[in-house]
Every structure is written in structure tokens, then in C-alpha cells.
């Protein structure tokens, strides 16, 4: 069967199980779009290519399948870059397909020509420029294989326009041949035995559960390990939802804005078992002072993560699910009562300091997030943006639903949440998806409200609107003499903007309105947006000073500690 | 410490770019880098000299191996290895100095590969130290141009005695 290059792309995508592609058409992908209507693939026309990449990423994170985005050459391709980098930092399986100018024009600075394989070289797991139609089908096959296997990541395939138009006899390859790519899946038996010995000997062990647990689908194994040996678990931001936070052994998030008791546990543990976490600086704080008493076991599918950021006593490289399955039978049941009761006491102290325990009529964001949690029963897929809103979501929405939190952890990309939530909702049409976004991040991809309407998505959007680029403002308040430079932020009336797109919009100014409006929105079939006008200068606590040790947290000032004249 | 790494990679467009980009992006140092064909068609062989402590070099090896097109990475620093570099040196040579220069060339078992009325071109192969020494001795005569290939390295004898892949 003779097919055009464009038909080969779609045919190959269908073979890879792709059902949805997020993209924007253009001159260098016009052949691809011409062929598209003949294939059973739903194309979501986004309003910006950055959003297309985030949507593909959100789709991938919600479903575990490869997300696909598409853009034309030049500016279309460069607009993808932030989204690709976001997916790369968070090991998200995305395939980005871009059009390139026709082969004879490459290198001539042709109209809308850009070297997108050069540009994306350091932010993709791998990338390809296809200038020969004979290589097209194999390239697509390899791109999907690389994106989804081992440590997942984005792969970009740049296809010259003349390749899309050419004809060839089509045959989809069954196998890939990648002599330099063999992800290690089975853990080293001796290292697994040593890990068991360390765990069995530990007095105050602690598991760090990262995003890798989710990527490996090892949630059940994680739970079995921690319950068998009664080991408390601290999550990274992206590791939240891998274990229900209501679980007595779950300490929630650690790190810069982690729970004080989680950070104390990290600092006092005698053994850390890091599962699919890369010891990001937002978790470790100053590495010299991180977990000073602990031996560290690091289990990761990527050997290059071992020893990259912290010293590791015992590495185990391979697929986390496989490794835990081999490890659990070697673990002796244990209780660690002294260790667990010590953590329990820290927990009580933290709970007493919780702002939700304090009497206030102010509309505080923590209250909003907690009541979205109540209203949804915690069963929504939460997509958070970046900054204060992201930390409040992580702290006050106790996740229990696997893959229930989608957020840009590594790159910290503002503007991520709305398009990523669109992707998540496309991938999980039956689920309730909530996006919690600051007024800053929302204005970075606000144009995607049109996509929400176009796709008739029942997405719920909560804007935590404090009129500031809030996290930076908080740093300025705490560490830069209160000089609010470049952080006060003007925004539109978001409810009216929503209405203009045909989305019901609500503005909430009073604490008493939070629950009724959230409940009303939950009962709405279609999309809805709530603009919560929150306390402007509310802060995220605890906070570890930049460059500081996670053992040295700045806690929320208690009412009696607030100094005279303090604006709080 | 200086480390010598030997990497094998698929001979595909952009591979050299991937490697140099990796060193820049991860803030690794490259002292020299040479690349050419290996014994296997379609596979290139690169010798990289990099300065750094053991932790950094371990990262260099692992990050190199992570590149999809790289098939094998070996750190040969502690192996019995033959190390060579080739240099071409164009040195000012008048009638009066020519014989003195060729004397030095003989001592170093180098070769004169081009003779012009006022200069000689010398080819030398050897370790970097040997090339440095000859260059130092020739400098007083006036080195007009010099090109050095950078280090190439190969482990002696039966290098199958130890599995060299970094994969575990």
C-alpha cells in the first residue's frame, strides 16, 4: 500500500494507540492536517503551541499513555519548547511532532525555518529530523518506544515538508533496533539483598516516594513495603497521591514547603529509602546538611540519577515495581514504635500551628483548597499551577487518588495548569478535573478557555487571586526587605472573562461563600470558573530559606509572636 | 584528575553535537575530544579527556551513556593503555638552523614532511608529553603553526578480560 509521508505519520500514530493529538496547524504541517480527517484520531485545536505541549503532558500524566502534540515549523516549534522542557524535567512521556521546511530549504534561513532539533537537544530524551521518507515509519516507532520506556521523557520528531508529501510503500516496523538504548529493568540481586539488610537493621527508617513510583505503577508495592516494615513515607511534590495521605504512615510532602514533621523525619532518620526520586534541591535544601544521620538507598530506573545530587550508600538501578517485588519478601516485619511515636509528637505540634485551626473571617487560600477537597471527596484529579497556589494545593488537599495530582514540579512552569488540565480531562473524560491556579499563571495561558469551550470539557477552575506574583512577593517580604518589585499584578475580572467565553464565572470574596459556590459549581455539568479573591499577603508556611537546611524552617508566626505593626 | 574515556556511538547526524552539548549543559570540562571511524562500519569511536574528581567523571560516563546513540562508554584511565597524539608543527628554518632542527626531529623519531625555503613541517606522534617536549625545543626557532589531534587511546592486549560497559 503506497502512502504519503503525512498518511504514514497518522497510520503509525494509530498503530501506537494514539487517540488524541493536541496541536495547531501551519504551513509546514499542512500535508499532515490534510490527511488527518481520514484517521480515527481526535485533534484538539489549541490556542497556543505551548499549551498544546502542556496538554499532551497533562494527558500523559493523567492516563500513563504517551501524549502527542503537533506544531508547524519555526514559531510553532519554538512555542512548544517550554512545554517540552516541562515534560523533560518531570519525565513525562510526550511525542512532539513538528513540520520542518522542505529538505532543499533546510539551512537557507527559509520562511519559518528554525533548527528545532538543535534547540530541543538538551530538553528531549531524544530527537529526530526526518529528511528521508524511508526512515519515517521507523522514526515514529522509535520515538514512541523511547518516550514510554525506561525513564520516560519527551521525544521530538521534526519532519521536512517534502517528506510529508512524498509517497512510499508503507510497512510499520514490528521491532526497534536501538543498539545504544537498553533501559535496566531488573534490579541487581545482590544490591536488593543489601537493601533488605539495611532496612531490616534500621531503627528509624524513612521512605521517600517520588514521581517514579507513579511512573512505574508501583503504588501497591510501596504500600506493601511500608506496611510490612512500618516505615513512614515522605512524598516529593510529584510523589503525592502515590500513597493516600490519610494513611497513618504517610507524612505528606517534604522539602522547602514540606510539613515540619516530614522534614524533621528526613533530618533524623537513620535510613532513607528513596524510591523514584531525584533528590531535587526543593526536597533536599542545602545538600551538605541534608539527612545527616542517614544511610541512603537510592532506587531509580536512571543510573545517572545515582550520586548526582547526594551521596548514596546503596544504589539499586531498575524498574521500581520489579525491584520492590523482589525486595518485599526479604523484608522482616517490624514496628519501629519509638520512631513512629516521635514523629507522632511532631505531628501534633504542627497540627496546633495549622492556620485552619485559627479563628479568622479572612478568605484564606488554605480554606478554599481544603473545601474543594471536602466537596470532591478528594476524588478529583487536581492540576495545580506554580507558586503559592501549587504549595497550598499540595498542603491542604490530602491526595489519595492515584495519579490525582498533576503539577509542573521540576521546571516550575507558570501557565501549565489550564492546558495540562485540558489534557487530563481529554484523557479522563469521566473524571472530575479541577485546576487550581494563581492569577499570574492563569493569565499566562488564559487563551485556552476557548479550547475548554470548544471541546465541551466540564473542567472546574479555581483561581486563587491575590493580585500578586505571590511566591516571589513572599520571598521579597521575607528575604528582600519587603520591596515588592515586579510582583503586584493587575488582572481582569476573571468571572467576566469566563462569561465572555461562555463559561459560567463566579467571584467569591467572602469566606462564607466558598462552600456554597464550590458545591454549586460541582453540580454544574459543563465548565465553570471561580475567582477567589483571597488574602493578598497570605504566605506559604513552613518555608526553608533558599540555600538553607530543611532542618531550619521558618514556621508560621503564631498570633502571640506577631510583632507590633506586622501586616499579617 | 585527568580521565580518559572511550565512547562508541552510532555514526548519525548530530551525534557530535549531542556530546558537546551534553558537556556544556552539565558543566563538564573537555580537555580534548577526538572522533573517527572504529573497526565496525556505522560506529564511531571517540576519545575524550576530561578533568574532574571521581564523582564528576562517573556522572560524565553515565550521562554519556544515557544518550540514545552512544552504545558503550569505558573509562580507560586506570587501564594499561596506549595513548597517542599526532601533531604537525611548522617551524622557521633558515639554512643555519635547519640541521639543528632535523637533529631534534631525529631524536624524537619525528619526521620532516615538508621543506620550504624558510620553514620545515614536522610530523610527530606520541604521548602529549612527548609532543609538548618537542614543541618546547622548537619554540626558540619560531613555531609558525601547530595543529594537534588530541588524545586517542586504546587498551593494551586482551581488553575482554574485564567487561567495560558501565551498565550494571
Say if strands A271-275 and A250-253 run parallel, antiparallel, or are unpaired: unpaired
User: Do both A281 and A309 map to the same domain?
Assistant: yes
Mutate to test the interface with A, among B58, B66, B165 (most CBs of A within 10 A): B66
Distance between terminal CA atoms of chain A?
A: 71
Sign of CA dihedral A199, A202, A206, A208: negative
Of A129, A180, A184, the CB nearest to B168: A184
User: Cα-flanking dihedrals φ and ψ of residue B125, to 5°?
Assistant: -125, 140
Within a domain: A226: yes
pLDDT at A568: 39
Q: Say yes or no: A421 and A495 in one domain.
A: yes
Are residues B101 and B93 in contact, defined by beta-carbon separation less than 8 angstroms?
yes
Phi, psi of A271 (to 5 degrees): -150, 130
Check A302 against B66: CB less than 8 A apart: yes
Rounded distance, CA A159 to CA A95, Å?
13
**Are both A228 and A339 inside the same structural domain?**
yes
Question: Chain A residue closest to B54 (CA)?
Answer: A307
Kindly report the CATH number assigned to the domain that includes residue A210: 3.40.50.1220
Inter-chain CB proximity A181 and B55 less than 8 Å: no
Q: Which residues of A touch B57 (CB under 8 A)?
A: none
Chain B residues with CB-CB distance to A304 below 8 A: 59, 62-63, 65-66
CA B18, B21, B27, B28 torsion-angle sign: positive
Q: What is the CATH number of the domain that holds A419?
A: 3.40.50.970
Does B82-152 match B2-75 at the fold level? yes
Q: State which of A291, A321, A346 marks the end of a domain.
A: A346
Q: Does residue A175 lie in a domain region?
A: no
How far is it, in rounded angstroms, from Cα B90 to Cα A167? Answer: 54
Q: Please, what's the b/e burial string for A413-444 (b: 16 or more CB within 10 A of its CB; e: otherwise)? A: bbbbbbbbbbbbbbbbeebbbbbbbbbbbbbb
Q: Which helix (H) or strand (E) holds B80?
A: none
Residue B88: its pLDDT value, please? 98
A380 with A518, same domain?
A: yes
Query: Read out DSSP for A33-93?
Result: HHHGGGSS-EEEE-SSHHHHHHHHHHHHHHHSSPEEEEE-STHHHHHHHHHHHHHHHTT--
Establish if A395 belongs to a structural domain: yes
Say how many domains are in chain A. 3
The per-residue pLDDT for A472 is 98
- Return the residue in B13, B21, B62, B67 with the most chain A beta carbons within 10 A, the one to mutate for interface testing: B62
Q: Show the CA angle centred on residue A34, arms to residues A32 and A36, nearest 5°.
A: 70
**In what helix (H) or strand (E) does residue A204 lie, and over which residues does it extend?**
none
B69 contact residues in A (CB cutoff 8 A):
180
Q: What is the three-class DSSP state of A434?
A: strand
DSSP H/E element including A146: helix A136-148
CA dist A207 and A328 (Å) reads 14
**Using the beta-carbon criterion (under 8 Å), do B10 and A180 form an inter-chain contact?**
yes
Domain map (residue ranges) of chain B: 2-75, 82-152
Do residues A84 and A225 share a domain? no
Q: What residues of chain A lie within 8 A of the CB of B72, using their CB?
A: 180
Q: Is A195 left (phi over 0), alpha (psi -120 to 50) or beta?
A: alpha
Least CB–CB distance from B70: residue in A180, A184, A306: A180
CB contact at 8 A, A245 and A270: no
- Asked if B69's CB is within 8 angstroms of A180's CB, the reply is yes
Chain A neighbors of B59, CB-CB under 8 A = 304, 307-308
Report how far apart, in Å, the C-alpha atoms of A26 and of each of A18, A79, A140, B148 are. 21, 13, 20, 48
Helix (H) or strand (E) holding A162: helix A161-165
What integer pLDDT is reported at residue B62 of this predicted model? 96
- In this complex, the residue of B58, B71, B167 whose CB is nearest that of residue A307 is B58
Contact A419, A46 (CB under 8 A): yes
Domain match, A390 and A530 both = yes
Based on the domain organization, do A58 and A151 belong to the same domain? yes
Rounded to two decimals, the pTM is: 0.94
Class of domain B82-152: alpha beta
Residue B44 β-bridge partners = B9, B37
Q: Do B68 and A125 touch (CB under 8 A)?
A: yes
Burial B55-72 (b: 16+ CB within 10 A, else e): ebbbbbbbbbbbbbbbbb
* pLDDT at position A562: 54
Q: List the catalytic residues of A.
A: 49, 111-112, 161, 471
The domain containing residue A327 runs over which residues? 189-346
Q: Where are the beta strands (DSSP E) in B38-151?
A: 43-51, 70-75, 81-92, 111-116, 119-126, 143-148
Residue A568 located in a structural domain:
no
Chain A closest CA to B62's CA: distance in Å? 5
Beta carbons of A303 and B10 less than 8 Å apart: no
CB contact under 8 A, A181 and B68: yes
- Asked if A373 and A522 count as a contact pair (C-beta separation under 8 A), the reply is no
The answer to whether A181 contacts chain B (CB < 8 Å) is yes
| Residue from the list B25, B70, B168 with its beta carbon closest to the beta carbon of A122 | B25
In angstroms, how far is CA A316 from the centroid of its own chain?
A: 24
Contacts of B70 in chain A (CB under 8 A): 180
| Judgement on whether residues A22 and A81 belong to the same structural domain of the protein | yes
Interface test with B, best of A100, A123, A194, A304 (most B CBs within 10 A): A304
Q: Which residue of B has its CA nearest to A188?
A: B168
Q: What percentage of residues in chain B have a pLDDT greater than 70?
A: 94
Subunit contact B68:A146, Cβ cutoff 8 A: yes
Q: State the nearest Cα–Cα gap between A185 and chain B, in angstroms.
A: 11
Q: Residue B67: list chain A partners with CB under 8 A.
A: 180
List CB contacts (< 8 A) between B10 and chain A. Answer: 179-180
CB contact under 8 A, A178 and B25: no
**Hey, what CATH topology would domain B2-75 get?**
Alpha-Beta Plaits (3.30.70)
- A182–chain B Cβ distance below 8 A for any pair: yes
Give the CB-side neighbour count of residue A74, counting CA atoms within 13 A. 16
Q: What angle do CA A254, A260, A261 make, to 5 degrees?
A: 85
- Global ipTM: 0.89
- Asked, as a colleague might, if the bond just before B48 is cis with ω within 30 of 0, I would say no
Tens-binned pLDDT, residue by residue, of chain A (568 aa): 899 999 999 999 999 999 999 999 999 999 999 999 999 999 999 999 999 999 999 999 999 999 999 999 999 999 999 999 999 999 999 999 999 999 999 999 999 999 999 999 999 999 999 999 999 999 999 999 999 999 999 999 999 999 999 999 999 999 999 999 999 999 999 999 999 999 999 999 999 999 999 999 999 999 999 999 999 999 999 999 999 999 999 999 999 999 999 999 999 999 999 999 999 999 999 999 999 999 999 999 999 999 999 999 999 999 999 999 999 999 999 999 999 999 999 999 888 889 998 889 999 999 999 999 999 999 999 999 999 999 999 999 999 999 999 999 999 999 999 999 999 999 999 999 999 999 999 999 999 999 999 999 999 999 999 999 999 999 999 999 999 999 999 999 999 999 999 999 999 999 999 999 999 999 999 999 999 999 999 999 999 998 999 999 999 988 766 554 444 3
B86 class by beta-carbon count within 10 Å (0-12 exposed, 13-18 middle, 19+ buried): middle
CA B110 to chain centre: 17
Give the Cα separation of A264 and A252 in Å (integer): 12
A–B: how many Cβ contacts below 8 A? 49
For residues A13 and A21, the answer to whether their CB atoms sit within 8 Å is: yes
A156 at interface of B, judged by CB pairs closer than 8 A:
no
Contact residues, A window 83-122, toward B, CB-based 8 Å cutoff: 117-118, 121-122
Instruction: Check whether residue A164 and residue A227 sit in a common domain.
Output: no
What pLDDT is stored for residue A566 in this prediction?
A: 45
**Under 8 Å between Cβ of B34 and B47:** yes
The verdict on A326 and A424 lying in the same domain is: no
A303 has a chain B CB within 8 A of its CB = yes
Nearest to A303 among B22, B70, B168 (CB): B168
Q: Identify whether residues A32 and A134 lie together within a single domain.
A: yes
| Whether A164 and A193 share a structural domain | no
Instruction: Output the DSSP codes for A236-301.
Output: -GGGTTSS-TTSTTEEEE-STT--HHHHHHHHH-SEEEEES----HHHHBSGGGSSTT-EEEEEES
A526 Cβ under 8 Å from any chain B Cβ: no
A235-263 per-position pLDDT tens digit = 999 999 999 999 999 999 999 999 999 99
Q: What is the pLDDT of residue A70?
A: 98
Chain B closest CA to A144's CA: distance in Å?
13
pLDDT(B159) > 60 = no
Which residues of B lie inside 8 Å of A (Cβ-Cβ)?
Answer: 9-10, 13-14, 17-18, 21-22, 25, 55, 58-59, 62-63, 65-72, 166-168
A183 CB near a chain B CB, below 8 Å?
A: no
Residues of chain A in contact with residue B25, where contact means CB-CB under 8 angstroms, are 122
Amino acid at each position: 500500500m503506497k502512502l504519503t509521508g503525512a498518511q504514514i505519520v497518522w497510520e503509525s500514530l494509530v498503530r501506537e494507540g494514539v487517540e488524541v493529538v493536541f496541536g495547531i496547524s501551519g504551513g509546514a504541517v499542512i500535508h499532515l492536517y490534510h490527511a488527518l480527517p481520514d484517521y480515527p484520531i481526535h485533534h484538539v485545536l489549541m490556542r497556543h503551541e505551548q499549551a498544546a505541549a502542556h496538554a499532551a503532558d497533562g494527558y500523559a500524566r493523567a492516563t500513563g499513555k504517551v501524549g502527542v502534540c503537533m506544531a508547524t515549523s519555526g514559531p510553532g516549534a519554538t512555542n512548544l519548547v517550554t512545554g517540552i522542557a516541562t515534560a523533560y524535567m518531570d519525565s513525562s512521556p510526550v511525542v512532539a511532532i513538528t513540520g520542518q521546511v522542505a529538505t532543499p530549504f533546510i539551512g537557507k534561513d527559509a520562511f519559518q525555518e528554525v533548527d528545532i532539533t538543535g534547540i530541543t537537544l538538551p530538553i528531549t530524551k531524544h530527537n529526530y529530523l526526518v529528511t528521508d521518507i524511508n526512515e519515517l515509519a521507523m522514526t515514529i516507532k522509535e520515538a514512541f518506544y523511547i518516550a514510554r520506556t525506561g525513564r520516560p521523557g519527551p521525544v521530538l520528531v521534526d519532519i521536512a515538508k517534502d517528506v510529508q508529501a512524498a509517497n512510499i510503500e508503507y510497512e510499520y516496523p514490528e521491532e526497534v533496533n536501538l543498539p545504544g538504548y537498553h533501559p535496566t529493568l531488573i534490579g541487581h540481586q545482590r544490591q536488593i539483598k543489601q537493601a533488605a539488610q539495611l532496612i531490616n537493621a534500621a531503627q528509624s527508617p524513612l521512605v521517600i516516594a517520588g514521581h517514579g513510583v507513579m511512573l512505574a505503577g508501583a503504588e501497591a508495592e510501596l504500600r506493601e513495603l511500608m506496611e510490612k516494615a512500618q516505615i513512614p513515607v515522605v512524598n516529593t511534590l510529584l510523589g503525592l497521591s502515590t500513597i493516600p495521605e490519610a494513611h497513618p504512615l504517610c507524612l505528606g510532602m517534604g522539602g522547602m514547603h514540606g510539613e515540619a514533621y516530614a522534614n524533621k523525619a528526613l533530618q533524623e532518620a537513620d535510613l532513607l529509602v528513596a524510591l523514584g526520586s531525584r533528590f531535587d534541591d526543593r526536597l533536599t535544601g542545602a545538600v551538605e546538611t541534608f539527612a545527616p544521620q542517614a544511610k541512603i538507598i537510592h532506587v531509580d530506573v536512571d543510573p545517572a540519577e545515582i550520586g548526582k545530587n547526594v551521596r548514596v550508600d546503596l544504589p539499586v538501578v531498575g524498574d521500581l515495581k520489579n525491584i520492590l517485588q523482589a525486595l518485599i519478601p526479604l523484608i522482616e516485619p517490624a514496628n519501629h514504635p519509638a520512631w513512629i511515636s516521635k514523629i507522632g509528637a511532631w505531628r501534633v505540634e504542627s497540627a496546633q500551628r495549622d492556620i485552619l485551626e485559627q479563628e479568622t473571617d479572612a478568605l484564606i487560600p488554605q480554606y478554599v483548597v481544603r473545601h474543594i477537597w471536602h466537596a470532591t471527596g478528594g476524588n478529583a484529579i487536581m492540576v495545580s499551577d506554580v507558586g503559592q497556589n501549587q504549595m497550598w494545593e499540595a498542603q491542604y488537599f490530602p491526595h489519595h487518588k492515584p495519579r490525582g495530582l498533576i503539577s509542573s514540579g521540576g521546571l516550575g512552569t507558570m501557565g501549565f495548569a489550564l492546558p495540562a488540565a485540558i489534557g487530563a480531562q481529554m484523557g479522563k473524560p469521566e473524571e472530575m478535573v479541577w485546576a487550581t491556579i494563581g492569577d499570574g499563571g492563569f493569565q499566562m495561558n488564559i487563551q485556552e478557555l476557548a479550547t475548554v469551550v470548544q471541546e465541551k470539557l466540564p473542567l472546574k477552575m479555581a483561581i486563587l487571586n491575590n493580585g500578586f506574583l505571590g511566591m516571589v512577593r513572599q520571598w521579597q517580604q521575607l528575604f528582600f526587605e519587603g520591596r515588592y518589585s515586579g510582583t503586584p499584578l493587575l488582572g481582569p475580572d476573571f468571572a467576566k472573562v469566563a462569561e465572555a467565553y461562555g463559561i459560567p464565572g463566579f467571584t467569591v470574596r467572602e469566606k462564607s461563600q466558598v462552600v456554597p459556590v464550590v458545591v454549586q459549581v460541582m453540580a454544574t455539568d459543563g465548565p465553570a470558573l471561580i475567582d477567589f479573591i483571597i488574602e493578598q499577603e497570605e504566605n506559604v508556611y513552613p518555608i526553608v530559606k533558599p540555600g538553607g537546611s530543611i532542618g531550619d524552617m521558618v514556621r508560621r508566626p503564631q498570633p502571640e509572636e506577631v510583632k507590633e505593626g506586622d501586616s499579617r | 584528575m585527568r580521565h580518559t574515556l572511550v565512547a562508541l556511538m552510532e555514526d548519525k547526524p548530530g551525534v557530535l553535537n549531542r556530546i558537546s552539548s551534553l558537556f556544556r549543559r552539565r558543566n563538564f570540562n573537555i580537555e580534548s575530544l577526538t572522533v573517527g571511524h572504529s573497526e565496525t562500519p556505522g560506529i564511531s569511536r571517540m576519545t575524550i579527556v576530561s578533568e574532574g574528581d571521581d564523582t564528576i567523571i562517573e556522572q560524565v560516563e553515565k550521562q554519556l551513556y544515557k544518550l540514545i546513540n552512544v552504545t558503550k562508554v569505558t573509562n580507560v584511565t586506570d587501564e594499561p593503555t596506549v595513548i597517542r597524539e599526532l601533531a604537525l608543527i611548522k617551524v622557521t628554518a633558515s639554512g643555519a638552523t635547519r640541521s639543528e632542527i632535523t637533529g631534534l626531529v631525529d631524536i624524537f623519531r619525528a619526521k620532516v614532511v615538508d621543506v620550504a625555503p624558510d620553514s620545515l613541517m614536522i610530523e610527530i606522534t606520541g604521548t602529549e608529553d612527548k609532543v609538548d617536549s618537542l614543541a618546547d625545543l622548537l619554540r626558540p626557532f619560531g613555531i609558525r603553526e601547530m595543529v594537534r589531534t588530541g588524545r586517542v587511546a586504546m587498551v593494551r592486549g586482551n581488553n575482554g578480560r574485564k567487561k567495560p560497559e558501565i551498565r550494571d
